Amino acid sequence: DAKTTQPPSMDCAEGRAANLPCNHSTISGNEYVYWYRQIHSQGPQYIIHGLKNNETNEMASLIITEDRKSSTLILPHATLRDTAVYYCIVGSGGGADGLTFGKGTHLIIQP
């Protein structure tokens, strides 16, 4: 079973910030929080990951709570092309251990 809980779907208006929550209350101390997204029938795309600190890159920001039991992915200015299924994953992430994908959040950007 996936170790994360995400809302099944969310809507966001184009141009606004999209905030996607994720609960991971059983995360271990050495596990990362990863976010990937999958646009219809394409391969998943890496977005961002973090261990303890908040992270930002050109695509998004990741906010991890101090107790690490939850996190939020922020897309600062959502566009229609951001419509996708977003997966929050906890684990080592590197590939050797395999990623455990849950059902993710289907984010729909409304024009």
53 near another protein (CB under 8 A): no
E strand segments, the chain? 9-13, 18-23, 32-38, 45-50, 55-56, 61-64, 70-75, 84-91, 105-110
Per CB under 8 A, 44 contacts another protein: yes
41 binds another protein (CB under 8 A): yes
Q: How far is the CB of 98 from another protein (least distance, A)?
A: 3
The answer to whether residue 59 forms part of the interface with another protein (CB under 8 A) is no
Kindly tell me which of 74 and 101 has the beta carbon lying closer to another protein: 101
Selected binder of another protein within 59, 63, 99, 108 (CB under 8 A): 99
Nearest to 78 by CA among 9, 20, 5: 20
Tokens of 54: 């908040």
